[in-house]
Structure formats: C-alpha cells, structure tokens
Amino acid sequence: MSTVVKPESNPTPLNTSDTPKPKGLAFWLVIFSLCLIAFTSSLDGSIIAIALPEISTALSSDDKYIGIANCFVLAQTVVQPAFAQFCDVFGRRWPMITAVVIFAVGSGIAGGANDTTTMIAGRTIQGLGSGGIMLMVELIVCDLVPLKERGTYLGVVLSVAALGAIAGPIVGGALAEKDWRWCFFINLPICALVLPILVVFLRIRHHKISWSQLLTRIDWTGNVIFIGSICALLLGLVYGGTIYPWSSWRIITPLVLGTMGWVGFHFYETKCQNPCVPPRVFANRTSSAAFYMIFVTSMALQWVCFFWPVYFMAVRGTSLMGTGVNFMPFMFLLIPGSAVAGIILSKTGHYRRLHLIGFVLSTIGPGLNTLLTADTHAGIWATFQIIDAVGRAMILPTTLPAALAALTEEDVAAATGVYSFLRSFGYVWGVTIPGIIFNNYFDRNRFKISDPTVREALKGGSAYQFATGPFIHSLPIVTRTQVFTVYLSALKAVWFAAMAFGASGFIAVALEKHVPLRTSLDTQYGLDAEGKRQDMEVVNERTEKERE
C-alpha cells in the first residue's frame, strides 16, 4: 500500500536539528542586514510626521499633504498578503532583493520630487517596497531558525524596527531643519550597503516552478479583492475627520464598501484552491489570539509615539530635539527589553506568561500617564515610559512564534503575511483613533480658554498641529495656563482609551493556550551553510518516487 506525500512536504528535511547549531558568518551577516533594512523601512514610515509641514510648504501641497502622509502606509499595508504568497512561489531571496530595490527607487523619487504628485508617487513606491521588506524580514528569520529560537532573533530584529518607527519623527524633524530631501535620500546609502550582502549571502532554498504554474499558484482574484477592499477602508480612515467629516458620504461609502469587500474576500478564500490567506491560519484560538495581540500592540505603539511628543512640546515647551531626548527612556528600554523577552521565550518555550506580564504593564503605563501635569518631575515621567516600554517589549517578539506554534511550517509564509498586515493595519488605527479622541476632547473643552482668538485658532484638529510650534509658548501666561489645562484634559482622554485597548489584550491571553515550540527546523527553505543555493529538484524527485 503506497503512502501519499504532499509535494510540499519533506520526509527527510535538509535542515533539521534537535540542538542549536553554530551560526556561520553568512547567518550573522544576513541578520545584520535584516536589522539594518528593517530599521530603515520603519524609520521611513514615520519620518515625515514632523517634517511634513516643511515638505508641504516646499512643494505647495495645500490640502494634498494628507496624501503625502498616508500613501506610504496604504501601499505598505495592502501588499503584504500578496507578497507572502509570491514568496512561497519564488522563494525568499529574490522577493527580498526586489523589495529593497523598489524601496530604494521610491526613496530616490521622493527625495528628488519637485511637486506633490511626484512626491506621492515616490512615497507609494517606497510603501510597496517597505511592505515587502517588513514581511520578508520576519519570514526569513522564521526560515533560518527553529520556532523555539525565533523569539531571540525576532526580538532583536523587531525591536530595532520599532526603534526606527519611534525615532522617525525626531530624525525627520532634525533633517527637515537642514534639507527635507535627506529624509528620503538617507535610505540610499543604507540600501547600497544591504543589497550586496543579500545578493552574496542570502542563499535560500526553494522549489522551482514554471511560468505556466504561476497562473495557478497565485490567488489573483483574492489578491485583487483584498487590495481593493483594504484601499477603500484605509482611504476612509485617513481622510475621515481631516479632509471630510466622518458623516460625509465620501467617507461612509469607502468604509462600507471596504468592510463588505473584506468580508467577501474571506468568504472567497474558503472556496479558493490556493488562497493567499488560508482560512486554516485562523482555525485555532492560539494563532487568532496572537494575531489580535500584534494588532492591538502595534496600534498602541503608534498611539504612544504620537502623543508623548504632544505632552513634551505643547505642555512642557520642549524643543524638537529635546523631545527626542525626553523620549529616550521608552526607546532604549524597548530594544533590550524585546531582546530579553525573546531570550526568555527561547529558553522556556512559554509565551502566555510573557503576554500576560506585557499587557499588565502596557495597560498600567498609559494609566499612569493620566497623572501627568505641566510640572511632573523628569524621574516620574521617565518611570512611566519605562513601565510601558517593558510591557510592550514582552509582547512584540513573542506574538509571531505564538501564532506559528499551532501551525505547520507550510503555513509560515501565509501566517507571517497576515501577522505583518495586521501590524501595519494597527499602525493606521493607532493614529486614527487617538487623533479622533484628542480632537473631540480638545474641542469640547475649548471654552476654558478665555481668549476667543486662541480658542478659534486651536479648533478642529489644529491643536495637534500647533503643539509642535512656538505659538502656544508665545501666549500670555494666563492664556497659556488655560491652554495647558485643555491639552492635559484631551491627553488624559487619550491615555484612558489606550488603557481600554490594552486591557482587551487580557481576553486574547485568556483564549490562547500553550503549544510547545518546535526545537527542530523542518522546512523546504533555509540558508545553505556553504553559502550556495541547494536546488530542491533532488527533493522533488525523491518525493515523486515515494508517491509512486
């Protein structure tokens, strides 16, 4: 009686070991390049947060500045599930190299832009490359080490990426003071350093397929539905409350169509032969809980990055560079904290307790922020940041291993694509939700400002814009004190909402269960120890014989 073996399976894995093997030079150079390009990609996602006014003025963008701000995130988010499926077809090496090249081309276009249309085109191309990069970074780490070791390396790579996202606004503001074009040109030498390393040392094994097979292996229809739906949804989110009111049909229509399309996409995937997002990746509660955790944690990370600077600049009158210094406790605890969390996961194999501790601390952190005043001692607000950073560090590197624990290696690319998409999607919500809350509470409490001119100047979302300028601190002391009071009340509402979303993570922790992390690497992909690509045709021939 013959045994049927799936073509993707590998009965005698090329890269299986129960004990960690020494890592060679190629491995460490690849990890270094992944850290560097992940940092650069994340940095570029947020680098124009403070530089945008300067860029908009230089390009005479008027209200098109919203497009400059959001086209990057839009392109980065929608492309990831499709990119994950392409990686299963073409392997990891060339998609990663292609993503870096696309990112570099977009950076050059954006840096050389002389009008808004060219800038939006450049930022969109950058976003496409960045989406591929952020997905591939995690996927390649998963291909290089067993599940139990992934926490350590993901902790390093993802914490460096998080540092890039956090440092982006500060770096962008500093560069904009000299020449805003270097917000984009800065990526070119980094890409020039990373690309040779990837070309020479990133030798990942993969199956060869013919171009005719490409038509059936890719879920073209599903990808079109997904990209269209998410584009509509994100356009509604980013333009709502800024260009058009939330009650406008121009916002309601894309939100409704996007939501309906997204639901229809998941229904279609249940009928599709080769879905880009297989329904089975959501079939167990541990993976689903981990997906929610990365969504809410990414959202909260953006939340923190955008509103701690408001406190420092608007309430305390700190300069742009001073704000960057004041935010260092958070930034510098996040990286070592993530590395430590990854090491703990690799040593113990238990992720639930790390998630529980993480959500406890990252819920307490924003709660403590509600106690901030204009005169809070530096030691106190630094401690608040440290508590929050340690909590998020417990979650960031440990959610992907948890999501993959109950899935087979065959689903690594698809699950990583979902994970990466939800992280980017969380970033969008992490700006939209607190922005709505902040603006609404500020407008509700504007009556406390006695000067009608100031009261009018800060309405309708302008409070966030003026937080970074000298306007507030040029006001008479009485009016300035009143403005501080309104800012603090709006920020308090923002921090309370962050607590609520953080607390929802406890539900996810309760739903997930412990699944032992695999200690061996059983994958058809992986880095060749000799630095040469081993063709998978031998494996295919062996599999075909066993099927016969």
Q: Kindly state the DSSP code that residue 320 receives in the 8-state scheme.
A: H
Helix 285-310 to helix 378-395 angle (10° resolution) is 160
**CB-neighbour burial class of residue 53 (10 A; exposed 0-12, middle 13-18, buried 19+):** middle
Is-contact 84 135, C-beta < 8 A? yes
Do 24-208+521-548 and 286-517 come out as alike in CATH topology?
Answer: yes
What is the spatial distance between Cα 220 and Cα 276, in angstroms, rounded to a whole number?
Answer: 9
| Residue from 70, 68, 75 nearest 110 by CA | 68
Contacts of 13 (CB under 8 A, 6+ apart): 520, 521, 522, 523
DSSP structure class, residue 316: S
Query: C-alpha 455: how far from its chain's center?
Result: 36
DSSP output for 108-135: HHHHT--SHHHHHHHHHHHHHHHHHHHH
Range 243-251, long-range pairs (CB < 8 A, 24+ positions): 243/63, 243/66
Record the tokens describing residue 59, joined without a space: 């390009």
Alpha-carbon distances of 56 from 19, 128, 323, 469, 537, rounded to whole Å: 55, 22, 23, 16, 53
Can you tell me the distance from the alpha carbon of 448 to that of 432, in angstroms, rounded to the nearest whole number?
25
**Cβ partners under 8 Å of residue 472, min gap 6:** 314, 317, 466, 480, 483
Could you give the CA distance from residue 188 to residue 199 in angstroms, rounded to a whole number?
Answer: 17
Alpha-carbon distance of 439 to 464, in angstroms, equals 8
**Block residue for tokens 């167990």:** 284
pLDDT score recorded for residue 405: 85
Residue 404 CA from chain centroid, whole number: 18
- In sequence order, the 6+-apart residues with CB closer than 8 A to the CB of 308 are 327, 330, 385
Look-up: residue for tokens 């169509």? 257
Instruction: Give the start-to-end residue ranges of the domains of the chain.
Output: 24-208+521-548, 219-275, 286-517
Distance CA 159, CA 334 (A): 7
Question: Rounded to whole angstroms, how far apart are CA atoms 417 and 223?
Answer: 12
Report CA dihedral (274, 277, 278, 284) to the nearest 10 degrees. Answer: 170
Residue 25 has φ and ψ, to the nearest 5°, of -60, -40
User: Domain 24-208+521-548, what architecture?
Assistant: Up-down Bundle (1.20)
Architecture label for domain 286-517: Up-down Bundle (1.20)
Contacts of 423 (CB under 8 A, 6+ apart): 134, 294, 295, 298
Query: What is the pLDDT, as a whole number, of residue 530?
Result: 41
CA gap 231, 155 in Å, rounded? 30
pLDDT value of residue 526: 53
Using the 8-state DSSP alphabet, how is residue 240 labeled? B
Q: Is 80 helix (H, G, I), strand (E, B) or coil?
A: helix
pLDDT attached to residue 548: 43
Local confidence pLDDT in tens for the 548 residues of the chain? 333 333 333 333 444 444 556 677 888 898 999 999 999 988 887 787 667 767 877 887 766 666 787 788 888 888 888 888 887 777 788 889 999 999 999 999 999 999 888 999 999 999 999 988 988 888 888 888 887 787 778 878 877 887 787 777 778 877 877 888 998 999 999 999 999 999 888 877 656 666 666 667 778 888 889 889 988 988 888 777 767 888 889 889 999 999 999 999 999 988 888 888 888 888 889 999 999 999 999 889 888 877 888 888 888 888 767 777 788 888 778 878 888 888 888 888 889 999 999 999 999 999 999 999 989 999 999 999 999 999 998 998 889 888 888 888 778 878 888 888 888 888 888 878 888 888 888 888 888 888 888 888 887 667 776 776 677 878 888 888 888 889 999 999 999 999 999 999 999 999 998 888 766 555 555 555 444 434 344 334 444 444 44
